Chains A and B, each alone.
Chain A
Amino acid sequence: GAGVSQSPSNKVTEKGKDVELRCDPISGHTALYWYRQSLGQGLEFLIYFQGNSAPDKSGLPSDRFSAERTGGSVSTLTIQRTQQEDSAVYLCASSFGMGGYEQYFGPGTRLTVT
């Protein structure tokens, strides 16, 4: 079956522009997560969804970041007025639920802000 997909795979944008990153989770997975991975920094948790609800938004770095999930499926992460420090790989993962369920990761979107 299809795994988690993310688009675009690469995005180069100018400082100050808005970007949208998309994640298509595995069908039937109720939990969806966004992480940011910077070189040598490990995975930084951004936000998670249980269904369409995001109970914890405290991981979002600033109010320029927002995310939504519709139909319990596709999710978009939006970064407004991008800054150079936003450059990173953005990873999406989904799972059947929370707790002991493994996460399935997408290949990531590499964002470069020039």
Chain B
Amino acid sequence: AQSVTQLGSHVSVSEGALVLLRCNYSSSVPPYLFWYVQYPNQGLQLLLKYTSAATLVKGINGFEAEFKKSETSFHLTKPSAHMSDAAEYFCAVSSGGSYIPTFGRGTSLIVHP
């Protein structure tokens, strides 16, 4: 069985501040992990993914995430928030068996000027 927990349904930061969106997963086998972003009235778009090649994964728009097996975490970070980063962010896990991705409930990132 696999599951994803995103801590915080809303995260609010000031423009230029550090962004940290938390994701913890549960999987009985080594997982694939993903972060997606959804802008209003659009579908989801891949930010980055972990497929065991490297624990620190860099994605688009300056985002990165670090896979920590001991903490079962895959938190998303960005050093300096921009107004255009305001969106909904989803963490997803895909692991053994059917490999159907399971998504977290999402975190809404709010960026204040």
Residues of A within 8 A of B (CB): 4, 33, 35, 40-43, 45, 48, 55-56, 91, 93, 98-100, 102-108
Which one of B9, B34, B99, B100 contacts A102 once the chains associate, using CB atoms below 8 Å? B34
Within the assembled complex, what's the spacing in Å between the Cα atoms of A106 and B44?
8
- Which among A41, A55, A99 has the highest number of chain B CB atoms within 10 Å? A99
Which one of B44, B51, B94, B102 contacts A105 once the chains associate, using CB atoms below 8 Å? B44
Residues of chain A within 8 A (CB-CB) of B100 are 33, 45, 48, 56, 98
Cross-chain contact A4 with B32 (CB below 8 angstroms): no
With contacts A103-B46, A108-B42 known, what are 10 further pairs, Cβ within 8 A?
Answer: A42-B104, A45-B101, A48-B98, A48-B100, A91-B43, A98-B100, A103-B34, A103-B36, A105-B36, A107-B41
Within the assembled complex, what's the spacing in Å between the Cα atoms of A5 and B41?
14
Residues of chain B within 8 A (CB-CB) of A102 are 34, 46, 49
The minimal Cβ–Cβ distance linking B101 to chain A, given in whole angstroms, is 7
Which one of A41, A42, A99, A107 contacts B99 once the chains associate, using CB atoms below 8 Å? A99
Identity of the chain A residue whose Cβ is nearest the Cβ of B53 in the assembled complex: A100
Cross-chain contact B41 with A40 (CB below 8 angstroms): no
Residues of chain A within 8 A (CB-CB) of B51 are 100
Listed by A's residue number, 21 A-B pairs whose Cβ atoms lie within 8 Å are A33-B101, A42-B90, A42-B103, A43-B103, A45-B102, A48-B98, A91-B43, A91-B44, A93-B43, A99-B32, A99-B94, A100-B32, A100-B51, A102-B34, A102-B49, A103-B36, A103-B44, A105-B36, A105-B45, A107-B41, A107-B42
| Nearest 4 A/B pairs, CB to CB | A105-B43, A42-B105, A98-B99, A43-B103
